[in-house]
Amino acid sequence: MNFPLPDFFPASAEIFVLVMACVVLLADLFKSERQGWLPYLLTLATLAGALAIQVGTAGADTTLTFSGMFVDDRLSDVLKSCLYITVFAVVVYSRDYLMARGLERGEYYLLVLFATLGMQVMISANHFLTLYLGLELLSLAIYALVALDRESARSTEAAMKYFVLGALASGLLLYGMSMIYGATGTLEISAIARKLSDPATNMDVLRFGLVFLVAGLAFKIGVVPFHMWIPDVYHGAPTAITLLIGSAPKLAGFSMAIRLLVDGLPTLAVEWQQMLMMLAVLSIALGNVVAIAQTNVKRMLAYSTISHMGFMLLGLVSGVIELRASGDIQLSYAFGSAMFYTIAYVLMSAAAFGVLLLLTRAGVEAETLDDLKGLNRRSPWFAAVLMMVMFSMAGIPFFIGFFAKLAVLQAVVAAGYLYTAVFAVMLSLIGAFFYLRVVKLMYFDEPLDTAPLVASSEMRALLSVNALAIAVIGLMPQSLLTLCATALGQAMK
Amino acid sequence: MAAGRARTRKQVSFAAPAHDRPRIVCMNLLATVVLLPLLAGTSACALIGRGNTPARRLLTALAAGGVTLAALALLLRMAPAVFAGEVPAAGFEWLPQLGLNIGWRLDGLALMFGLLITGIGALIVLYAHHYLGSEDPAGKFYALLMLFMAAMLGVVLSDNLLMLVVFWELTSVSSFLLVGYWGHRADARAGARMALAVTGGGGLVMLAGFVLLGQIAGSYELTEILQHRERIVADPLYPLVLALVLTGCFTKSAQLPFHFWLPEAMAAPTPVSAYLHSATMVKAGIFLMLRLYPVLGGTALFEQVVTGFGLATVTFAAWVAIFRHDLKGLLAYSTVSHLGFITVLIGLDAPMAKVAAVFHILNHATFKAALFMSAGIVDHACHSRDLRRLGGLYGWMPWTATFALTAAAAMGGLPPLNGFLSKEMYFAEALAGADRLSWIVPAVALLAAVSSMAYSLRFAHDTFFNGPTRDLPADAHPHDPPAGMLAPVALLALLCVAVGLFPESTYGPLVRLAADAALGGPPPEFHLALWHGVNGPLAMSAVAVLAGFALYAGLMKGRALHGYLPRAWSGKLAFGCAIDRLFAFAGRVTAATENGSLQRSLLIMVAFAVLLAAAPFWQADALPAAGDRTLMPATPLALALWALLLITATVIAATHHQRFRALVLVGIVGLITALTFVGLSAPDLALTQLSVEVVSTVLMLMGLALLPQHTPRESSALRRGRDALLALVAGGGVAGLTWLMLTRNHDSISWFFLERSLTEGGGNNVVNVILVDFRGYDTFGEITVLGIAGLGALALLDGFRTRRPAADADGRAWAFEQQPLLLRVAARVVLPLALLASAYIYWRGHNMPGGGFIAGLMTSVALVMQYMALGQARAESLLHGAAGRRFTRWIGTGLGIAGLTGIGAFWFGRPFLTSAHGHPALPVIGELPLASAAAFDLGVYITVVGATLLTLSVLGAASKEDHA
């Protein structure tokens, strides 16, 4: 049979990453002893190249290709560009840590690149199958990465749990997708949205499908009650891997939520809003409260992620406003706020784990709160960096986190969920407590470990840039907010 | 859609109409007031103060002082315009999406606070230069001080509520850093953290209130909001807004029950206390209440709540202050009390009360700053602030004592000082308030004044008189400080007297101006004066002074007061207790939600999925019915098979601890599936299922041979029951939903393949054509994966040897050498037949059930039999297998053939894997259906055989007994 050749141009960044992943694989296999840096540099070059391609091929139009399975729009351009930058930072931050533990092998770079590819595919998915494909590519790479340190019982246990739970969640997601297929007869996201307005479509079946879709989604972005893997995996994985898991996949998770729910099932908004609202409120409550009890920084950040993702969901919940009188659906700027929140969180998370990585050296892990004590004596600048991150996460002004929270809260209030807004603020107050505890430990306590910090200069530089971004975007959030809003606006046209 | 987004912003518009704004554009001046300390001040101080030499310390102080005075001068330059009734304002858009604009606005209230902040700030800079020790980093101190000053100026000058919050939180953060300036002291750390937790948290609560307020008013611009009083007060959310905003104000201004952080913050260096905790930061809450009074105030709710909290604070704190032995602790509680005093005045629904409030803000800042600074001088000289140890200092430091006594008299409310004046006004308003609220108002006001007199007396008497000093630290040498340190105190003390004597010509105009802004209209006619004739307030004052003296004398009899140990009743303990509770609660929640058990996590996930899925049931009007699709009849044979399937599945679940048995039973499930395929006319699928079943069972058996045959049972019966129930519910739900789905009619896509299989793929067997043509890419991917799996097994197990078990679980010995004769013979016979059959299956695959995949599996099964019959060594010598490595070449060959076939399409300018087909007629065989897909299928065949045998071979080798 003759098939028309699809348009490969919109997916050039994906193709580039795939080819380069194979190049890295071969380079790693055939490199000489002295070329240990080769996979590292190639990976960085891949990410930089992908960014260049993405920006270079970015157009104002929405392009569909591969029979409508793949979409290239402003949203994907913005999210993918953020993705490359994040993964770039992750790789730079991680190298010293991995080398000190003998984990800096080709597999790491290869798996990171495949995870990146998976996220790219997820972000550009316009079809349930593409979405699932990307998700699994990402998940499988991450399962393996969590167990990268095969000697560590904690890591392998975490990987095993993550794998089993992740498989169950994938099952739920697939089941939901298949039910939606059963009701609409298509898997293409924009076609599903069109089918929904057809009165002949069976709404009951769709609702059931939606339930499983939301459950699968909730697991992937890690909100209560599908959050159980987050603390274990954050804690169990080597810190460099936790850094990866805690940053870039949130972008893909956001895109997944937008594509599945907002693009695909807008007319079911009332249903999924209720569910997401419940998940968001539970996450914000549990995340903030449990974080207090943690003495391990990675676990604390894990619960902090849960509450932040809850906040992000609040933005999504406020996005679709049904006009009861006319039955029409309106989309508000709230999605932009959720996107801004996600990007802000990724920036903060990368910097937080970056500092944790900075504190480690051969044989020394920095995981507990005690390890942060007196950081100001050891390195005033990186203590300031972590302070900025903590203030930003707590939502204290002049940092990006404040504007993220503010934008989401305004959206929530505008959508009429007043008590939810007040509740969210109250709980972020509790949350502010444990972030501030970290600041107190760094500035006012005696260091237990007085050894100077060991880190490569490129890591120091990039971490500083990362922290400055938190502060500078905090002062000038205008352009990023506009970017998010226009990207989403174009994607939903 | 973009338009839709814009519409949903309700009616929020952020560009305020310009017409009714009295504004003169002096943007640069107004912004400079904040930016000067924020940018120039902090950076200059931080840079100059890097080295801690005396010269640099002096320069740093000069820089800070210069910046402060410059800001003060700028404000004064704009003051005439404000006095002329103009409101200098300026702004530009910062974040229009969020309603966050940079907007500055200088009305009377802002001007008064601005002058207070910069004026006292200048004095503090001077004082701190002498106060700080030579080892204290001056640069850090002044930089933080400038940051704080900028934040404070930002709060009072902001025209935008959100920006106000931003600066509000910045004051919390900078005060955190200032209070914790001496980070080596535990009390400083605890105090700093508590201050930040309370005031920063309050700020966030306030933010929530502001967001609501902005939604109601349709703008976040103060200029706008101030014009919508009616709409805001009438809104049903008004009580909530009020509660949230007041929480923010009360935390910042240390009102009961949030007062406790202020005494704890006294661990700060004294200049910080004098600046933040008397004159400026604690007044921010007061400022905000006044700022929003025109919109939020004037209702019965506002009056009751604000007055109520104020009264409670003023009495409680004044009483507690008497019993503090720490000089600064006493002043801290006194500050709390005076803040309560102002809060009461703000609450009272009378215009004059606002005048009194504004006046007292100025007065309190004046005398309290002087008192804090003198407390610092005493501390500096005596190295102690304990009132039980100090005493008789008048003789040692007469100048300090004189000024401090003047200020203390003002605090106690003695004429002719400024404190007396505002207290009189307070009494007058309290008496007036009695009509509207209750007689309690003046009564409580009087009580507070009595305590106020008493603690002022104690401050003066215990420090400067009351006998000689008592066991001061050895290094204490009480003396008057250098002039630079004394001058600010002197200036403020003199101001106390001047204002007391000539109120109209000193603070008068400013008070009028600020009250105008706070009331949102001109204040009533009033005249500030020392003497208003004999009236109710004067009588109350007299009573308060006399009773205060009596109270102090009574308490101090025989120094009884010194023996008093403060009981643990402070809010600090409550805060600590609340924190502990929170920790304990967090710990309990953690223990309840995460115990690291995978089973628990799975349980929660499945249970929630079931709950979520059940939700539509009780929302929908009727249960979704099954579809109306015509069902096929169920034959008795099929029913019997499915019953067997159910039973087998149940037995597997029950006996999964015995691994071999479970595996065999799984085989039955596969078999029934294959039979079902046959029944549904899918011979291809049946063949594939069957072959896969056989191969995978054999491979899994080999793998299991290396592992224990039993796993222990670990869970209790109760838990198994619970899990079984959940599994039944979840499984039943899934089955039910599947039933709903499958009974519905839907379009099938099979016509597409049926129509095009022969015409475009050149084959009658649709399944095979799909595999090798329509979905050729998929198949190519699948065989690649199969090859990788085989290689993976090789990589993992190559060279791996395990001791094979000598006996099975029942004690029967494993037989390694003897292969049953019958099997050996049968295997020999079967092999050529099986190979022939698989070749046939392969060949006909394109048109009839069969194909490379099935053929490959059949060959594999035949070879697996050889393994079992002859033993691995002989089987491999037969195949020249060399411990499996040779099979990697098979995989490579198969993939190569498939890949080259695909690439072949390029020769004809077609995409990868485009197939070509023809039907050449050959003499003997007849018509030969030839398709390029057949070559591709050959690749599939070889790869399947290679991968299966490779896996088999490495697994077998792993359990081979190590002869070496």
Average pLDDT over residues B183-209: 83
CB spacing of B747 vs A185 below 8 angstroms: yes
Pair B813, B839 in one domain: yes
Q: Please check the confidence at residue B11 and state whether its pLDDT lies above 50.
A: no
Q: Please check the confidence at residue B574 and state whether its pLDDT lies above 80.
A: no
CB spacing of B609 vs A395 below 8 angstroms: no
Chain B residue numbers touching A429 (CB-CB < 8 A): 201, 204-205
CB spacing of A3 vs B197 below 8 angstroms: no
Identify whether B651 is part of a domain. yes
Q: How confident is the model at residue B960 (pLDDT cuts 50, 70, 90)?
A: low
- Mean pLDDT (chain B, rounded): 81
Model pLDDT for residues B116-164, shown as the tens digit of each residue? 999 999 999 999 988 888 888 888 889 889 999 999 999 999 888 888 9
Average pLDDT over residues B728-745: 85
Model pLDDT for residues B878-889, shown as the tens digit of each residue? 665 555 567 888
Pair B816, B669 in one domain: no
Q: Please check the confidence at residue B611 and state whether its pLDDT lies above 70.
A: yes
CB spacing of B602 vs A229 below 8 angstroms: no
Identify whether the C-beta of residue A83 lies closer than 8 Å to the C-beta of residue A252. Answer: yes
CB spacing of A226 vs B914 below 8 angstroms: no
Chain A residue closest in CA terms to B162: A406
Tell whether B605 lies on the interface with A, counting CB pairs under 8 A: yes
What value does the CA radius of gyration of chain A take, rounded to a whole number of Å? 22
Chain B residue closest in CA terms to A321: B8
Q: Which comes out higher in pLDDT, residue B697 or B848?
A: B697
Does the complex come out with an ipTM higher than 0.90? Answer: no
Q: Which of A1, A182, A291 sits opposite B746 (nearest CB)?
A: A182
Average pLDDT over residues B614-627: 68
Average pLDDT over residues B69-94: 85
Q: How far is B349 from chain A (nearest CA, A)?
A: 29
Model pLDDT for residues B475-487, shown as the tens digit of each residue? 777 888 888 889 9
What pLDDT does B881 receive? 53
Average pLDDT over residues B746-756: 76
Specify the range with the lowest mean pLDDT, choosing from A378-387, B261-270, B653-662, B868-877: B868-877
What are residue B91's DSSP bridge partners? Answer: B103
Q: Please check the confidence at residue B927 and state whether its pLDDT lies above 80.
A: no
What pLDDT does B816 receive? 58
Q: Please check the confidence at residue A256 and state whether its pLDDT lies above 90.
A: yes
Average pLDDT over residues A197-201: 76
What pLDDT does B192 receive? 84
Identify whether B963 is part of a domain. yes
Tell whether B592 lies on the interface with A, counting CB pairs under 8 A: no
Model pLDDT for residues B763-803, shown as the tens digit of each residue? 777 777 777 777 778 888 888 888 888 888 888 777 777 66
Question: Helix (H, G, I), strand (E, B), or coil: what is residue A231?
Answer: helix
Q: Where are the domains of chain A?
A: 9-491
Average pLDDT over residues A254-265: 90
Name the most confidently modeled range: A92-96, B595-599, B848-852: A92-96
Chain A residue numbers touching B612 (CB-CB < 8 A): 211, 214-215, 275
What pLDDT does B289 receive? 92
Chain B residue closest in CA terms to A295: B587
Residue B416: Cβ within 10 Å count: 15
Where are the alpha helices (H) located in B84-107, listed in sequence order? Answer: none
Q: What percentage of residues in chain B have a pLDDT greater than 70?
A: 87
Model pLDDT for residues A136-172, shown as the tens digit of each residue? 999 999 999 999 998 889 999 999 999 999 999 999 9
Identify whether the C-beta of residue A339 lies closer than 8 Å to the C-beta of residue A487. Answer: yes
Q: What percentage of residues in chain A have a pLDDT greater than 70?
A: 96
Put residue B871 in one of left, alpha, beta given phi > 0 → left and psi -120 to 50 → alpha: left
Which residues have a Cβ under 8 Å from the Cβ of B443 and sit 6 or more positions away? none
Q: Which comes out higher in pLDDT, residue B871 or A256?
A: A256
> Quick one: DSSP state of residue A34?
G
Identify whether B74 is part of a domain. no
Model pLDDT for residues A443-492, shown as the tens digit of each residue? 878 888 888 887 888 999 999 999 999 988 888 888 888 888 888 877 77
Q: How far is A241 from chain B (nearest CA, A)?
A: 20
Q: Two tokens at A328?
A: 């029409």
* Per-position DSSP letters for B474-513, written without gaps between them: TT----PPPHHHHHHHHHHHHHHHHHHH-HHHHTHHHHHH
Q: How far is A342 from chain B (nearest CA, A)?
A: 17
Q: How far is B907 from chain A (nearest CA, A)?
A: 14
Pair B729, B786 in one domain: no
Chain B residue numbers touching A176 (CB-CB < 8 A): none
Q: What is each CA distance from B216 to A404, B98, B236, B662, in whole angstroms? A: 22, 15, 10, 67
- Mean pLDDT (chain A, rounded): 88
Chain A residue numbers touching B268 (CB-CB < 8 A): none
Specify the range with the lowest mean pLDDT, choosing from B285-299, B328-342, B358-372, B737-751: B737-751
CB spacing of B589 vs A426 below 8 angstroms: no
Cβ contacts below 8 Å, chain A against chain B, sum to: 220
Identify whether the C-beta of residue B60 lies closer than 8 Å to the C-beta of residue B45. Answer: yes
Pair B915, B823 in one domain: yes
Nearest by Cα to A107 from A246, A11, A238: A238
B 913-932: CB under 8 A from A:
914-915
Which residues have a Cβ under 8 Å from the Cβ of B414 and sit 6 or more positions away? B420, B545
Pair B741, B764 in one domain: no
What pLDDT does B5 receive? 39
Q: Please check the confidence at residue B815 and state whether its pLDDT lies above 70.
A: no
Put residue B474 in one of left, alpha, beta given phi > 0 → left and psi -120 to 50 → alpha: alpha
Identify whether B83 is part of a domain. no
What value does the CA radius of gyration of chain B take, rounded to a whole number of Å? 45
Q: Please check the confidence at residue B13 and state whether its pLDDT lies above 60.
A: no
Tell whether B215 lies on the interface with A, counting CB pairs under 8 A: yes
Backbone angles phi, psi at B93, to 5 degrees: -75, 135
Q: How far is B883 from chain A (nearest CA, A)?
A: 24
The whole domain housing B693 covers 629-713+723-747
Residue in B102, B210, B601, B914 to test binding to A, most A beta-carbons within 10 Å: B601
CA distance B594 to B601: 8
CA distance A285 to A162: 23
Residue with tokens 């969180």: A345
What pLDDT does B118 receive? 93
Pair B769, B654 in one domain: no
Q: Which of B172, B189, B613 sits opposite A444 (nearest CB)?
A: B189
Pair B800, B739 in one domain: no
Identify whether B877 is part of a domain. yes
Specify the range with the lowest mean pLDDT, choosing from A241-245, A320-324, B105-109: A320-324
Specify the range with the lowest mean pLDDT, choosing from B387-391, B760-764, B887-891: B760-764
Pair B823, B877 in one domain: yes
Split into its structural domains, chain B has a count of 2
Pair B800, B679 in one domain: no
Pair B834, B790 in one domain: yes
Tell whether B581 lies on the interface with A, counting CB pairs under 8 A: no
* Helix A74-100 × helix A334-359 angle, to 10°: 10
What pLDDT does B620 receive? 61
What pLDDT does B923 receive? 54
Name the most confidently modeled range: B128-137, B712-721, B722-731: B722-731
What pLDDT does B928 receive? 53
With b meaning 16 or more CB within 10 Å and e meaning fewer, what string describes B102-137? bbbbbbbbbbbbbbbbbbbbbbbbbbbbbbbeeeeb
Tell the burial category of B799 from Cβ atoms under 10 Å away from its Cβ (0-12, 13-18, 19+). exposed
CB spacing of A443 vs B740 below 8 angstroms: no
CA distance B224 to B275: 32
Chain B residue numbers touching A290 (CB-CB < 8 A): 586, 589-590, 593-594
Identify whether B33 is part of a domain. no
Pair B686, B743 in one domain: yes
Q: How far is B605 from chain A (nearest CA, A)?
A: 6
CA distance A461 to A93: 10
Q: How confident is the model at residue A111 (pLDDT cuts 50, 70, 90)?
A: very high
Report the predicted TM-score, pTM, of the whole model to 2 decimal places: 0.81
Q: Please check the confidence at residue B178 and state whether its pLDDT lies above 80.
A: yes
Q: Which comes out higher in pLDDT, residue B936 or B25?
A: B936
What pLDDT does A164 receive? 93
Pair B708, B765 in one domain: no
